[in-house]
Structure formats: structure tokens, C-alpha cells
Amino acid sequence: MPEETKTGKASEVVLRERRRRFRKTRVRELKMIAKALASTKHPVLVHIIPMRRCNLDCGYCNEYDNVSKPVPLEEMRKRLDILADMGTSIITISGGEPLMHPELEGVIRHIRKRGMIAGMITNGFLLSKERIGNLNEAGLEHLQISIDNVVPDEVSKKSLKTLDTRLEWLAELAVFQVNINSVLGSGVKDPEDALKIAHRAVDLGFTSTVGIIHDGNGQLKPLGPRELEIFEEVMALGKRSFSRFNDFQHSVARGKEHDWRCRSGARYLYICEDGLVHWCSQQRGYPGIPLAQYTDEMRHREYYTAKHCAPMCTVSCVQQVGIIDNWRGSQTLKPKPMAPPSPKPELVQIGSTRSDS
Ligand code: SF4
Ligand code: SF4
């Protein structure tokens, strides 16, 4: 931790409101787990992209562009309504950089209005005191910032140095839960940074997790001996949150194949900015069907479809969702191209002639 940084202190009012929101969210999370255990028919977690554009250009990232426009709020509401009607429990807004979306708070409000748990993954650069207040007011429940290093380098500007003031604002003002994710793995210059970042997160009252950077296909490489020690230490620091349900991460860190059933396309959905359903951020393109045409039968099929990339997967949020169903529902189907159902004719024409006759 840089010497000059000070721990942000929340006022009594903020602490009270934070405790109140935490209790409410925790009750909703427990209900979400009970509902997911009772039925396999609905999505548990959906990542949705309102903005593909990003204000940064991290060297390892394949999830952003520099040009795209925000998805209009009305369109986002329609997509969220479809997801709520499917019975989705948690929506995590991701990107690109969601804070670049001019109506992000409207998206969060709609998630909450439809009874779903609202989370967001951001690089944090666009946070201000006022924006944190707006996110509080909109009803955000979880926020995650991924920090890659202690000082910025040519690969990533997401550093403790550039973000520490914003972390202090969050510690002072946010009534939602904040998780700081540090990273280990290919492309990370100094693994000790992950430890410093995790300690700073805990000092500020946040939860802390560590992710292992995957290659361009979402697949893993084993960590070195010192990286492994750091990994275990940061994992131990993270025991306070739901992130403790992540035993698969120990296999990931050692580059070992792990035995699990990826339920993407069914219990987990990734909805891109064009409104298409994908397996996950690292397997975009399949099934690639518009959300409005993604039927219960398609989700049902994906539930039982084995994913070729599962043994070496590093996408931790999908693996956490998988825990709920790993003990049931063997995956015996193979992926197959699925076409959206043909639209129903709106008019029944009597006595019409074929135009090609
Ligand atoms: S901030 Fe996030 S989305 Fe943007 S380039 Fe970096 S990793 Fe990608
Ligand atoms: S196993 Fe699932 S989450 Fe992992 S890369 Fe494949 S589709 Fe994505």
C-alpha cells in the first residue's frame, strides 16, 4: 500500500444504510440459492453489456472497442424484462466500461424494479463522489473493480496508484458491497502486487478475490511457485464473501483440468451489446441467438450440453454458478447449431396467391 494513502471512513449514516442494504441483499441471495436448488429451469446469473466501448485499453483484453455507442435505455429495459420473465436471479452489468453509459442508473433501477439482484463490474476510473451517490440511490447491490498492479504499466492502467482515491470514496460513501479483484497469471509482471492490492481492499472494509488471467480463449496456464503461495494467501483473505465457494480455483491455479459441468447458455447467460445470447465472454458466437428468440427449450438443451472448454476454463463466475448443479443433470448432449424459431405469421390470408407462381 502506498504510504501516503489514508483509509476512507464512512459516516454513521452511511454505515447504517450499508448494513441495512447488506442484510436485505443477503436475504435475497439466500432466497436465490434456495430457488436455484429447487429448480433448474431459470438462469441464476446473467452478464449483460450496455456498453462495449471502454475508456481504457488493457493489453490482455478482448472485451472492448473504442467506437460503439451505448445501448439505449429502452432497449436495455426490454432485455431485462425478458430476463426477469425467465426467472433470472442476478444481473451483473459488464462491458466495455458500464460507467460510460449515460443512463446506467436507469438500467440498475430497472433491474431492481424487476426484483433481480443488481451488480456491476467496472474499471472504476469514472467513479466520483456524486456518481457513487447515484449508484447508491439507483439500488446497486454489488460492485467489483479489478486492479491489475500497484503502479500502472504499458499493459494495464488499472493500478492501486491510479484508483486508490476512488477506493477511499467508495469506503466513505458506498452503501453497496464492494469487491476488489486482483490478478495473477500470464502477463502479470509482479505477483506480489496481488497481495498488496488484496490487503488494501481488506483495510478499506471491502471483500477481496483473486482471478487468474486466462489466455485469449478463456483457458488456463499453471502459476509458478511464488504465485501459488500468493494465490493461497489472497484466497484466505477472501473468506468473508460468497467467493469462498470457489474450490475449483485451486485446480485452476495449478493448471490442472477440473471436473465440472458448465451450465452456460442455461443457468448462466452472456448477453452482448447486440442482444445476442452467448455461452460466456470467452466463447462468444455460440449460440448467438437474439435474447427475444431464445426459448425455454434452447436453455434446456444447453443445460445438458457438455462444453469442450470446461476442463481448462478460468471463468470463475460461471464455475460458481455451476456448483449449484454439479451434482445433477449429466451433460450428454453435444453443441449443435440452433436456429431461432421462425416468426409466427401475424395475418392469416385467405385465398392468397404465391408471389412466385
Ligand atoms: S478496463 Fe476492462 S473492458 Fe476496459 S480494456 Fe481493461 S479489461 Fe478491457
Ligand atoms: S467452460 Fe463455460 S464458462 Fe468456461 S470458457 Fe467454456 S463456455 Fe465459457
The CATH number covering residue 177 comes to 3.20.20.70
Which of 243, 261, 8 has its CA nearest to residue 142? 243
- In terms of pTM, does the model score above 0.85? yes
In a domain, 339, yes or no: no
Pocket test for ligand 1, best of 49, 53, 58, 182 (most atoms within 8 A of CB): 58
Cis amide linkage into residue 225, ω under 30° from 0? no
**Distance from the CA of 123 to the center of ligand 1, in angstroms?**
7
Which of 251, 259, 262 for mutating ligand 2's site (highest number of atoms within 8 Å of CB)?
Answer: 262
Task: Please give the distance, rounded to the nearest whole angstrom, from the Cα atom of residue 213 to the centre of ligand 2.
Answer: 14
Ligand 2 pocket test: pick from 212, 215, 281, 318 the residue with the most ligand atoms within 8 Å of its Cβ. 318
Task: Considering only residues 246 and 137, tell me which one the structure prediction assigns the higher pLDDT.
Answer: 137
Residues 181-228 pLDDT 10s = 998 877 778 889 999 999 999 999 999 988 887 665 555 677 888 888
Q: Is residue 261 part of a domain?
A: yes
For the residues 231-235, what does the mean pLDDT come to?
A: 85
Within a domain: residue 356? Answer: no
Residue 342 lies in a domain: no
How much distance in Å is there from the Cα of 299 to the middle of ligand 2? 15
Please state, for a pLDDT cut of 70, what percent of the chain lies above it. 88
Assess contact for 90 and 120: CB atoms under 8 A. no
Take atom 4 of ligand 2 and give the residue whose Cα is closest: 313
Residue 330 CA to residue 309 CA, distance in Å, equals 16
Structure confidence by residue, pLDDT tens digits, 315-354: 889 999 999 999 999 999 998 877 776 654 444 333 333 3
Residues with CB under 6 A from ligand 2: 218, 262, 264, 279-280, 282-283, 307, 309-310, 313, 315, 318
Give yes or no for a contact between 196 and 286, defined as CB atoms under 8 angstroms apart: no
Find the domain containing 192 and state its range: 12-325
Collapsed DSSP state (helix, strand, coil) of residue 50? strand
Q: Indicate whether 124 belongs to any domain.
A: yes
Q: Is residue 341 part of a domain?
A: no
- Average pLDDT score, the chain: 88
Nearest CA to ligand 2 atom 7: 279
Residue 283 has pLDDT above 80, yes or no: yes
**Number of domain units in the chain:** 1
Q: Give a yes or no: residue 344 inside a domain.
A: no
Cell digits for 319? 464455475
Q: What distance in Å separates the CA atoms of residue 68 and residue 65, rounded to the nearest whole number?
A: 7
Q: Report how far ligand 2's centroid is from the alpha carbon of 316 (Å).
A: 9
pLDDT at 3 over 50: no
Is residue 231 exposed (0-12), middle (13-18) or buried (19+ Cβ within 10 Å)?
A: buried
Structural domain contains residue 255:
yes
